[in-house]
Protein backbone atom coordinates (compact mmCIF):
# COMPACT_ATOMS: atom_id res chain seq x y z
CA UNK A 1 0.00 0.00 0.00
CA UNK A 2 2.82 2.31 0.95
CA UNK A 3 4.68 1.39 -2.22
CA UNK A 4 1.63 2.28 -4.31
CA UNK A 5 1.25 5.59 -2.51
CA UNK A 6 4.93 6.38 -3.04
CA UNK A 7 4.64 5.44 -6.70
CA UNK A 8 1.57 7.66 -7.20
CA UNK A 9 3.23 10.57 -5.41
CA UNK A 10 6.30 10.15 -7.61
CA UNK A 11 4.30 10.38 -10.85
CA UNK A 12 4.89 13.67 -12.63
CA UNK A 13 2.41 15.57 -14.80
CA UNK A 14 4.50 14.83 -17.89
CA UNK A 15 4.42 11.10 -17.23
CA UNK A 16 0.63 11.28 -17.20
CA UNK A 17 0.71 13.35 -20.37
CA UNK A 18 3.01 10.75 -21.98
CA UNK A 19 0.49 7.96 -21.37
CA UNK A 20 -2.32 10.15 -22.62
CA UNK A 21 -0.28 10.57 -25.81
CA UNK A 22 0.36 6.83 -26.07
CA UNK A 23 -3.29 5.84 -25.52
CA UNK A 24 -4.43 8.53 -27.97
CA UNK A 25 -1.95 7.33 -30.59
CA UNK A 26 -2.99 3.68 -30.15
CA UNK A 27 -6.56 4.80 -30.93
CA UNK A 28 -5.23 6.80 -33.83
CA UNK A 29 -3.43 3.75 -35.28
CA UNK A 30 -6.76 1.87 -35.09
CA UNK A 31 -8.32 4.76 -36.98
CA UNK A 32 -5.52 4.55 -39.55
CA UNK A 33 -6.44 0.89 -40.12
CA UNK A 34 -10.08 1.94 -40.63
CA UNK A 35 -8.94 4.48 -43.24
CA UNK A 36 -7.05 1.76 -45.14
CA UNK A 37 -10.25 -0.34 -45.09
CA UNK A 38 -12.27 2.67 -46.17
CA UNK A 39 -9.99 3.31 -49.12
CA UNK A 40 -10.49 -0.33 -50.10
CA UNK A 41 -14.27 0.14 -50.08
CA UNK A 42 -14.01 3.41 -52.01
CA UNK A 43 -11.61 2.19 -54.69
CA UNK A 44 -13.82 -0.85 -55.18
CA UNK A 45 -16.77 1.46 -55.91
CA UNK A 46 -15.03 3.49 -58.61
CA UNK A 47 -12.05 2.33 -60.62
CA UNK A 48 -9.79 5.24 -61.42
CA UNK A 49 -6.16 5.71 -62.41
CA UNK A 50 -5.68 7.65 -59.16
CA UNK A 51 -6.66 4.67 -56.96
CA UNK A 52 -3.07 3.45 -56.58
CA UNK A 53 -1.93 6.82 -55.22
CA UNK A 54 -4.81 6.87 -52.73
CA UNK A 55 -3.87 3.39 -51.52
CA UNK A 56 -0.23 4.45 -51.03
CA UNK A 57 -1.36 7.57 -49.11
CA UNK A 58 -3.59 5.51 -46.81
CA UNK A 59 -0.77 3.05 -46.04
CA UNK A 60 1.75 5.89 -45.61
CA UNK A 61 -0.64 7.52 -43.13
CA UNK A 62 -0.93 4.26 -41.16
CA UNK A 63 2.83 3.75 -41.11
CA UNK A 64 3.37 7.34 -39.94
CA UNK A 65 0.85 6.78 -37.14
CA UNK A 66 2.67 3.59 -36.05
CA UNK A 67 6.02 5.43 -36.27
CA UNK A 68 4.70 8.27 -34.12
CA UNK A 69 3.35 5.82 -31.55
CA UNK A 70 6.78 4.18 -31.27
CA UNK A 71 8.43 7.61 -31.06
CA UNK A 72 6.07 8.66 -28.26
CA UNK A 73 6.82 5.50 -26.27
CA UNK A 74 10.60 5.77 -26.75
CA UNK A 75 11.21 9.53 -26.56
CA UNK A 76 8.69 10.78 -24.00
CA UNK B 1 -24.49 -21.29 -84.34
CA UNK B 2 -26.65 -19.86 -81.57
CA UNK B 3 -23.76 -18.40 -79.56
CA UNK B 4 -22.40 -16.79 -82.75
CA UNK B 5 -25.77 -15.13 -83.45
CA UNK B 6 -25.96 -13.97 -79.87
CA UNK B 7 -22.49 -12.46 -80.21
CA UNK B 8 -23.41 -10.70 -83.45
CA UNK B 9 -26.52 -9.25 -81.82
CA UNK B 10 -24.49 -8.07 -78.86
CA UNK B 11 -21.92 -6.52 -81.19
CA UNK B 12 -24.69 -4.72 -83.11
CA UNK B 13 -26.16 -3.31 -79.90
CA UNK B 14 -22.73 -2.14 -78.74
CA UNK B 15 -22.11 -0.54 -82.13
CA UNK B 16 -25.51 1.17 -82.02
CA UNK B 17 -24.80 2.52 -78.55
CA UNK B 18 -21.37 3.77 -79.50
CA UNK B 19 -22.83 5.63 -82.48
CA UNK B 20 -25.68 6.99 -80.38
CA UNK B 21 -23.36 8.23 -77.64
CA UNK B 22 -21.06 9.85 -80.20
CA UNK B 23 -24.08 11.51 -81.83
CA UNK B 24 -25.41 12.82 -78.51
CA UNK B 25 -22.03 14.13 -77.44
CA UNK B 26 -21.60 15.82 -80.80
CA UNK B 27 -25.06 17.41 -80.60
CA UNK B 28 -24.38 18.71 -77.10
CA UNK B 29 -20.99 20.07 -78.13
CA UNK B 30 -19.07 17.60 -76.02
CA UNK B 31 -16.14 15.28 -76.67
CA UNK B 32 -14.38 12.69 -74.50
CA UNK B 33 -12.32 14.63 -71.99
CA UNK B 34 -11.67 15.28 -68.31
CA UNK B 35 -12.09 18.76 -66.90
CA UNK B 36 -12.00 20.55 -63.56
CA UNK B 37 -9.67 18.10 -61.78
CA UNK B 38 -11.75 15.12 -62.83
CA UNK B 39 -15.07 16.52 -61.64
CA UNK B 40 -16.46 16.57 -65.16
CA UNK B 41 -15.44 13.52 -67.20
CA UNK B 42 -17.07 12.86 -70.54
CA UNK B 43 -16.91 9.29 -71.84
CA UNK B 44 -14.10 8.29 -69.42
CA UNK B 45 -12.45 4.89 -69.29
CA UNK B 46 -13.42 4.57 -65.62
CA UNK B 47 -15.42 1.63 -64.31
CA UNK B 48 -17.64 1.34 -61.25
CA UNK B 49 -19.05 -1.32 -58.98
CA UNK B 50 -21.96 -3.30 -60.48
CA UNK B 51 -21.20 -2.01 -63.98
CA UNK B 52 -22.55 -4.41 -66.55
CA UNK B 53 -20.47 -5.69 -69.43
CA UNK B 54 -22.36 -3.81 -72.15
CA UNK B 55 -22.69 -0.64 -70.10
CA UNK B 56 -20.74 2.45 -71.14
CA UNK B 57 -19.98 5.34 -68.79
CA UNK B 58 -21.03 8.52 -70.59
CA UNK B 59 -20.54 11.02 -67.77
CA UNK B 60 -18.67 10.76 -64.50
CA UNK B 61 -19.28 13.73 -62.23
CA UNK B 62 -18.02 14.93 -58.89
CA UNK B 63 -18.85 18.09 -56.98
CA UNK B 64 -17.12 21.16 -58.46
CA UNK B 65 -13.57 21.54 -57.02
CA UNK B 66 -14.43 25.04 -55.76
CA UNK B 67 -16.56 23.34 -53.08
CA UNK B 68 -13.30 22.15 -51.49
CA UNK B 69 -11.90 25.64 -50.94
CA UNK B 70 -13.38 25.91 -47.40
CA UNK B 71 -11.65 22.86 -45.99
CA UNK B 72 -8.42 23.57 -47.91
CA UNK B 73 -8.22 26.98 -46.18
CA UNK B 74 -8.85 25.25 -42.85
CA UNK B 75 -6.01 22.81 -43.57
CA UNK B 76 -3.64 25.71 -44.33
CA UNK B 77 -4.65 27.28 -41.03
CA UNK B 78 -4.09 23.95 -39.24
CA UNK B 79 -0.61 23.70 -40.78
CA UNK B 80 0.28 27.20 -39.61
CA UNK B 81 -1.24 26.86 -36.14
CA UNK B 82 1.61 24.99 -34.35
CA UNK B 83 4.20 27.52 -35.54
CA UNK B 84 2.06 30.43 -34.36
CA UNK B 85 1.23 28.88 -30.99
CA UNK B 86 4.86 27.97 -30.27
CA UNK B 87 6.13 31.40 -31.37
CA UNK B 88 3.69 33.01 -28.93
CA UNK B 89 5.47 31.15 -26.16
CA UNK B 90 2.38 29.30 -24.94
CA UNK B 91 4.36 26.09 -24.53
CA UNK B 92 7.54 27.65 -23.12
CA UNK B 93 7.28 25.59 -19.91
CA UNK B 94 6.72 22.31 -21.78
CA UNK B 95 9.79 20.11 -22.44
CA UNK B 96 10.98 20.18 -26.05
CA UNK B 97 10.33 16.46 -26.70
CA UNK B 98 6.64 16.91 -25.80
CA UNK B 99 6.38 19.89 -28.13
CA UNK B 100 7.93 17.88 -30.98
CA UNK B 101 5.68 14.84 -30.49
CA UNK B 102 2.68 17.16 -30.06
CA UNK B 103 3.50 18.97 -33.30
CA UNK B 104 3.96 15.70 -35.20
CA UNK B 105 0.64 14.39 -33.84
CA UNK B 106 -1.08 17.61 -34.91
CA UNK B 107 0.36 17.35 -38.44
CA UNK B 108 -0.75 13.72 -38.64
CA UNK B 109 -4.29 14.69 -37.62
CA UNK B 110 -4.16 17.41 -40.30
CA UNK B 111 -3.10 14.81 -42.87
CA UNK B 112 -5.96 12.54 -41.77
CA UNK B 113 -8.49 15.37 -42.04
CA UNK B 114 -7.17 16.28 -45.51
CA UNK B 115 -7.40 12.68 -46.66
CA UNK B 116 -10.92 12.24 -45.32
CA UNK B 117 -12.24 15.35 -47.04
CA UNK B 118 -10.47 14.50 -50.28
CA UNK B 119 -11.72 10.91 -50.24
CA UNK B 120 -15.34 11.96 -49.66
CA UNK B 121 -15.09 14.39 -52.56
CA UNK B 122 -13.23 12.09 -54.94
CA UNK B 123 -15.27 8.94 -54.43
CA UNK B 124 -18.74 10.48 -54.15
CA UNK B 125 -19.62 10.34 -57.82
CA UNK B 126 -22.62 10.68 -60.05
CA UNK B 127 -22.41 8.46 -63.10
CA UNK B 128 -24.53 8.55 -66.24
CA UNK B 129 -24.26 5.42 -68.36
CA UNK B 130 -26.06 4.47 -71.56
CA UNK B 131 -28.59 2.54 -69.44
CA UNK B 132 -28.92 4.19 -66.05
CA UNK B 133 -27.89 6.82 -63.58
CA UNK B 134 -25.77 5.76 -60.63
CA UNK B 135 -25.22 7.91 -57.58
CA UNK B 136 -22.47 6.71 -55.23
CA UNK B 137 -22.27 8.56 -51.92
CA UNK B 138 -20.09 8.03 -48.89
CA UNK B 139 -21.83 9.18 -45.74
CA UNK B 140 -19.28 8.23 -43.11
CA UNK B 141 -16.15 6.12 -42.78
CA UNK B 142 -17.52 2.85 -44.12
CA UNK B 143 -21.06 3.60 -45.22
CA UNK B 144 -21.65 3.63 -48.95
CA UNK B 145 -24.98 4.49 -50.52
CA UNK B 146 -25.55 3.59 -54.15
CA UNK B 147 -28.72 4.76 -55.88
CA UNK B 148 -29.70 3.63 -59.36
CA UNK B 149 -32.28 4.95 -61.78
CA UNK B 150 -32.87 3.31 -65.14
CA UNK B 151 -32.90 5.85 -67.96
CA UNK B 152 -36.13 4.42 -69.36
CA UNK B 153 -37.85 4.94 -66.01
CA UNK B 154 -36.90 8.50 -65.30
CA UNK B 155 -39.43 11.30 -65.38
CA UNK B 156 -37.93 14.71 -65.93
CA UNK B 157 -34.36 15.61 -65.11
CA UNK B 158 -34.14 19.04 -63.53
CA UNK B 159 -31.39 21.37 -62.41
CA UNK B 160 -31.07 24.17 -59.93
CA UNK B 161 -28.37 26.75 -60.18
CA UNK B 162 -28.05 30.37 -59.18
CA UNK B 163 -26.21 32.55 -56.75
CA UNK B 164 -23.04 34.47 -57.34
CA UNK B 165 -20.42 31.74 -56.84
CA UNK B 166 -22.45 29.07 -58.65
CA UNK B 167 -23.04 31.33 -61.63
CA UNK B 168 -19.39 32.31 -61.87
CA UNK B 169 -18.09 28.75 -61.66
CA UNK B 170 -21.04 27.22 -63.53
CA UNK B 171 -22.12 24.51 -61.16
CA UNK B 172 -25.42 23.46 -59.65
CA UNK B 173 -27.65 20.60 -58.56
CA UNK B 174 -29.18 18.02 -60.86
CA UNK B 175 -32.30 16.10 -59.81
CA UNK B 176 -33.65 13.11 -61.65
CA UNK B 177 -37.08 11.91 -60.58
CA UNK B 178 -37.95 8.31 -61.24
CA UNK B 179 -41.34 6.79 -61.97
CA UNK B 180 -40.93 4.40 -59.05
CA UNK B 181 -41.60 5.21 -55.41
CA UNK B 182 -37.92 5.66 -54.75
CA UNK B 183 -36.76 9.20 -54.07
CA UNK B 184 -35.12 11.15 -56.84
CA UNK B 185 -31.45 10.71 -57.66
CA UNK B 186 -29.49 13.87 -57.09
CA UNK B 187 -26.08 15.24 -57.97
CA UNK B 188 -25.20 18.21 -55.81
CA UNK B 189 -22.83 20.93 -56.92
CA UNK B 190 -21.79 19.32 -60.20
CA UNK B 191 -20.24 21.34 -63.04
CA UNK B 192 -22.29 22.36 -66.09
CA UNK B 193 -25.67 21.06 -64.82
CA UNK B 194 -27.43 22.24 -68.01
CA UNK B 195 -25.22 19.98 -70.12
CA UNK B 196 -25.75 17.06 -67.73
CA UNK B 197 -29.54 17.43 -67.93
CA UNK B 198 -29.33 17.74 -71.71
CA UNK B 199 -27.26 14.55 -72.08
CA UNK B 200 -29.51 12.60 -69.68
CA UNK B 201 -32.64 13.72 -71.57
CA UNK B 202 -31.17 12.76 -74.94
CA UNK B 203 -29.97 9.35 -73.72
CA UNK B 204 -33.37 8.66 -72.20
CA UNK B 205 -35.06 9.74 -75.43
CA UNK B 206 -32.86 7.47 -77.54
CA UNK B 207 -33.58 4.57 -75.23
CA UNK B 208 -37.31 5.25 -75.52
CA UNK B 209 -37.11 5.41 -79.33
CA UNK B 210 -35.25 2.13 -79.38
CA UNK B 211 -37.88 0.55 -77.12
CA UNK B 212 -40.67 1.80 -79.40
CA UNK B 213 -38.91 0.23 -82.37
CA UNK B 214 -38.91 -3.00 -80.38
CA UNK B 215 -35.13 -3.43 -80.53
Q: pLDDT: is B36 or B72 the higher one?
A: B72
Whole-model pTM? 0.86
Q: Is B1 on the interface with A (CB under 8 A)?
A: no
Cβ A36 vs Cβ A59: under 8 Å? yes
Number of domains in chain B: 2
* Digit-coded pLDDT (tens) for B64-95: 999 999 999 999 999 999 999 988 988 888 88
* Same domain? B160 vs B80: no
Same domain, B133 and B59: yes
DSSP-assigned beta bridge partners for residue B132: B150
Beta-carbon separation of A21 and B105 below 8 A? yes
Give the per-residue pLDDT at B9. Answer: 67
3-state SS class at B82: helix
Asked if B48 and B102 sit in the same domain, the reply is no
Q: What average pLDDT does the segment B19-48 reach?
A: 88
Flag whether B184 is in a domain.
yes
Closest in A46, A61, A65 to B123, CB measured: A46
Please report whether residue B114 resides in a domain: yes
Cβ of B98 within 8 Å of Cβ of A14? The answer is yes
SS3 of chain A: CHHHHHHHHHCCHHHHHHHHHHHHHHHHHHHHHHHHHHHHHHHHHEECCCHHHHHHHHHHHHHHHHHHHHHHHHHC
- What is the DSSP secondary-structure string of B111-168? HHHHHHHHHHHHH-EEEEESSEEEEEEE-SSS-EEEEEEEGGGEEEEEEE--SHHHHH
Per-residue confidence (pLDDT) for residue B2, from 0 to 100: 61
Q: Is B160 on the interface with A (CB under 8 A)?
A: no
Q: Is the pLDDT of residue A29 over 90?
A: yes
Cβ atoms within 10 Å, residue B57: 22
Instruction: Say if residue B192 is in the same domain as residue B97.
Output: no
In terms of pLDDT, which residue wins out, B1 or B152?
Answer: B152
Q: Is B88 on the interface with A (CB under 8 A)?
A: no
pLDDT at res. B16: 79
Asked if A39 and B130 count as a contact pair (C-beta separation under 8 A), the reply is no
B113 backbone φψ class: left, alpha, beta (φ>0; ψ -120 to 50): alpha
Confidence of residue B109 (pLDDT cuts 50, 70, 90): very high
Helix (H, G, I), strand (E, B) or coil at B191: strand
The answer to whether residue B20 sits within a structural domain is: no
Asked if the structure places residue B156 within a domain, the reply is yes
CA distance A14 to B99: 12
State the pLDDT at residue B74.
Answer: 97
The mean pLDDT of chain B is 87
Instruction: Tell if the CB–CB gap between A76 and B146 is shorter than 8 Å.
Output: no
Taking only the tens place, the pLDDT of each residue in A42-63 is: 888 888 888 999 999 999 999 9
Does B99 lie in the same domain as B183?
no
- Asked if B136's CB is within 8 angstroms of A21's CB, the reply is no
Specify the long-range contacts of residues B211-214, CB closer than 8 Å, at least 24 apart.
B211/B152
Range of the domain at B202: 32-63+126-213
**pLDDT tens digit string along B172-204?**
999 998 877 666 788 999 999 999 999 999 999
Query: If you write DSSP's letter for every residue of B89-107 in order, what string do you get?
Result: TTTTTS-HHHHHHHHHHHH
- Each residue of B7-34: b (16+ CB within 10 Å) or e? eeeeeeeeeebeebbeebbeebebeeee
Q: Cβ atoms within 10 A of the Cβ of B120, count?
A: 19
Q: Please determine, for residue B1, whether its predicted confidence score (pLDDT) is greater than 60.
A: no
Strands B47-48 and B154-160, sheet pairing: unpaired
Domain boundary among B85, B118, B151: B118
Q: With pLDDT > 90 as the criterion, what percentage of chain B qualifies?
A: 45
Specify if B130 maps to a domain.
yes
Query: What's the pLDDT score for residue A26?
Result: 96
Is the same domain home to B149 and B195?
yes
CATH of the domain at B45: 2.30.29
B29: left (phi over 0), alpha (psi -120 to 50) or beta: left
Do B163 and B103 sit in the same domain of this protein?
A: no
Does some domain include residue B132?
A: yes
Q: Does B73 share its domain with B57?
A: no
Amino acid sequence: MENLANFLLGVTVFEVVKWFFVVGLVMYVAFGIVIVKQVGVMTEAVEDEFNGVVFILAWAHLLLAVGLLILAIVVL
Amino acid sequence: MAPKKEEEKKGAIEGWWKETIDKILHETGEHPHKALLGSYCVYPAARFITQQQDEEVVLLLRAHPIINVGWILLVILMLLAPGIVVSLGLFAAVPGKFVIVGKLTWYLVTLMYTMERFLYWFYSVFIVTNERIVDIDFENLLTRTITYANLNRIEEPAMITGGFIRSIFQYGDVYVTTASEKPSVEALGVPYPHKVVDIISRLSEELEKRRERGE
